[in-house]
Amino acid sequence: MSGTRQEIAEARRLVVKVGSSALTTAGSGLDVARLDALVDAIAARVAREAQIVLVSSGAIGAGLAPLSLGKRPRDLATQQAAASVGQLALAHAYAESFGRYSLTVGQVLLTSDDVVRRSHYRNAQRTFSRLLALGAVPVVNENDTVATQEIRFGDNDRLAALVAHLIGADALVLLSDVDGLYDGDPRDGATRRITEVLSESDVDGISVGMSSSGLGTGGMVSKLAAARTAAGAGIPVLLAAAAYAAGALGPADVGTAFAPADTRLSARRFWLGYAADASGRLRLDDGAVTAIVRRRRSLLAAGIIGVEGDFQAGDVVDLVDTKDIPVARGVVAFDAGELPGLIGRSTPELPAEFRREVVHADDLVPLRR
């Protein structure tokens, strides 16, 4: 067994994410047998003194049949109506299933605001901590019934990666209808499953597609992005099929394992890099990119070649290279209106009141590329 798989197998606190396609079927709604099998695997891990937070999709899918909807609706209002009905069915099913093991579940509904705003972020941390301390299994979902298009997480894979860091998880397990990461379309017999991802180079050039079930919103694209986010923040990740949940939550000998980065980001730096919304962009020259990414230096006005957005000092901005690829994120020290007259100028050339870093190194997080 690899070191990464052993870390996952021995993790004391885990986030487990399960997708809609693993819990629901088109036209029939919630599949209780599949849900019970997942709960069986989670309960077995809890019995070994592990704490588990379950991030579960399926609310919209569970609401389709009761509302006589034949497929996942495209418009937001109908999605929210289906989620409103399905959330109750899903929560009841989990309560009943975990009840077989005398385990109590607590429902936690989140919007991106709860993770983006620092005050909400800390409150969510306290809520999860208390639920786990009381022996409950938190069941998390995006709050589809109130989330607007602008503030949605987009998929529960990203939500799971954010929650994993938020609670200080030792591992993240992503369960879906695919048994791992492949080097192409898994329906093509010529492709192979990648058993271990040790670095970014292991997944360079891999083409992954969307879910074909019609029930989920993520697909392999979002799962790979979530795995890279969590692994880059120091959390080992296992991507596997929900049908193999017992193996994923047992010896961790299935699916694809993602090795974690050597160091774990602090809560603030993780929030800055992956959770906070960016209010604008600063375009950098090649020298500035090298300074902030490789040398971990502060961003100075001399290295900026363009400014986009309407932001104020203290907002989070993306730092992009000459090809518009984000290379870092940081808290900017100037308003957007102040920067055009400063960019490209060395510090001694600036008026005394502007002789400071545009983004200080302590408020800057390079992104994995």
Distance separating alpha carbons of residues 119 and 122, to the nearest angstrom: 5
Instruction: Convert the pLDDT of each residue in 353-362 to its tens digit.
Output: 999 999 999 9
Distance separating alpha carbons of residues 260 and 4, to the nearest angstrom: 8
Taking residues 322-347, what's their average pLDDT? 94
Per-residue confidence at 207, pLDDT binned at 50, 70, 90? low
Q: What is the mean pLDDT of the chain?
A: 87
- Answer whether residue 186 shows pLDDT above 90: no
Of 143 and 22, the one with more pLDDT: 22
Instruction: Convert the pLDDT of each residue in 101-158 to its tens digit.
Output: 999 999 998 876 676 666 677 888 899 999 999 999 999 987 655 555 444 455 788 8
Interstrand relation of 256-258 and 196-197 (parallel, antiparallel or unpaired): parallel
- Answer whether residue 242 shows pLDDT above 50: yes
In the chain, the largest separation of any two C-alpha atoms, in whole Å, equals 71
| Class for the domain spanning 278-366 | mainly beta
Taking residues 260-269, what's their average pLDDT? 81
Of 82 and 142, the one with more pLDDT: 82
* pTM for this entry: 0.81
- Pick out the residues of the known binding site: 17, 57, 144, 156, 176-177, 217-223
Q: Report residue 356: phi and psi, to 5°.
A: -150, 170
Instruction: Give all strands (DSSP E) within the chain, no chain letters.
Output: 13-18, 24-25, 29-30, 51-56, 105-110, 137-142, 171-176, 181-182, 193-194, 196-197, 237-241, 256-258, 280-284, 304-309, 316-320, 326-331, 364-366
Per-residue confidence at 69, pLDDT binned at 50, 70, 90? confident
Of 232, 218, 264, 226, the C-alpha closest to 19 is: 218
Q: Report residue 326: phi and psi, to 5°.
A: -65, 130
Pair 127, 108: CB distance under 8 Å: yes
Question: What tokens were used for 142?
Answer: 């995006």
Per-residue confidence at 191, pLDDT binned at 50, 70, 90? confident
Interstrand relation of 280-284 and 304-309 (parallel, antiparallel or unpaired): antiparallel
3-class SS of residue 63: helix
- Lowest mean pLDDT, pick from 138-147, 264-273, 279-288, 292-301: 138-147
Domains 3-269 and 278-366 share a fold: no
3-class SS of residue 108: strand
- Pick out the residues of the known binding site for substrate: 57, 144, 156
Distance separating alpha carbons of residues 8 and 21, to the nearest angstrom: 24
Instruction: Convert the pLDDT of each residue in 277-290 to its tens digit.
Output: 789 999 999 999 99
**For position 337, what pLDDT does the model report?**
95
Kindly list the domain boundaries of the chain, sorted by start residue: 3-269, 278-366
Interstrand relation of 364-366 and 326-331 (parallel, antiparallel or unpaired): antiparallel
Of 14 and 278, the one with more pLDDT: 14
Taking residues 301-315, what's their average pLDDT? 95
Of 313, 316, 364, the C-alpha closest to 342 is: 313
In the numeric block, the tokens 């709860």 are attached to: 114
- Answer whether residue 93 shows pLDDT above 90: yes
Question: What tokens were used for 168?
Answer: 């200080």
Per-residue confidence at 214, pLDDT binned at 50, 70, 90? very low
- Pick out the residues of the known binding site for ATP: 17, 176-177, 217-223
Superfamily classification of domain 3-269: Acetylglutamate kinase-like (3.40.1160.10)
**For position 118, what pLDDT does the model report?**
66
